[in-house]
Amino acid sequence: MKKAALPGSDRNRALSRPGIGSARARLQALVRALRDAGEVFMIPSVHEGSWCLRTAFSNWRTTHENVERVMRALVAVLP
């Protein structure tokens, strides 16, 4: 059975476009920038052969505002 793609999942692939450096190195730099900013914690991972950010939203108290906070932190550190 083929897994359904999550909405917006193609945005993850932007980190592995050819010709703009190593996906792993770029992702590690992004993770360092997130860590240094101190707002959110994420780690690099590999999913189905592609480098990605790993995070978990498993607490039942996670709100839409929490997700927005993560998105703002990501936007703030992206080049």
Ordered structural domains, the chain, with CATH: 21-77 (3.90.1150.10)
Sign of the CA dihedral running 52, 69, 11, 36: negative
Predicted model pTM: 0.63
Sign of the CA dihedral running 43, 31, 10, 16: negative
Q: 41-65: per-residue pLDDT in tens?
A: 888 888 888 888 888 777 888 899 9
* Distance separating alpha carbons of residues 34 and 49, to the nearest angstrom: 23
State yes or no: pLDDT of 10 exceeds 60: no
